[in-house]
Amino acid sequence: MPNIFAQLPTDLSEEVFEDIVRSNEFRIERIVSHGQSSPAHGWYDQEQSEWVIVLKGAAELQFDDGRAVRLAVGDYINIPAHSRHKVSWTSADEPTVWLAVFYR
């Protein structure tokens, strides 16, 4: 039986993005971070909306309107398409496991 916490990557020098389910209508992705953040320049500006939940660890998202949203275990957020955002930090003490659902 598949498990979201099974086979976590051992090399977390960079974030790891893995599709769990992918179709023309939506995509479900597991993201594993360990102390990473988005590059200082540039923002995510996605064609699809994104619903994301933190399953383990912690993180903070920053939006281009100045808003910052801290996410702990169980916290989730819906990010509408073209809402410019970036990851300002993820936990360096343990891996942060995200589940992201991209949809139109």
Delineate the domains of the chain, giving CATH numbers in brackets: 16-29+45-60+75-104 (2.60.120.10)
CA distance 72 to 98: 10
Residue 77 DSSP SS3: strand
Radius of gyration, alpha carbons of the chain: 13
Tens digits of residue pLDDT in 20-71: 999 999 999 999 999 999 988 889 999 999 999 999 999 999 999 999 999 9
Does pTM top 0.95 for this prediction?
no
Report the pLDDT averaged over residues 3-9. Answer: 95
Per-residue pLDDT tens digits for 70-98: 999 999 999 999 999 999 999 999 999 99
Dist CA 42 CA 80 (whole Å):
18
- Judge contact between 55 and 99, C-beta under 8 A: yes
The angle at the Cα of 100, spanning 98 to 104, to the nearest 5 degrees, equals 170
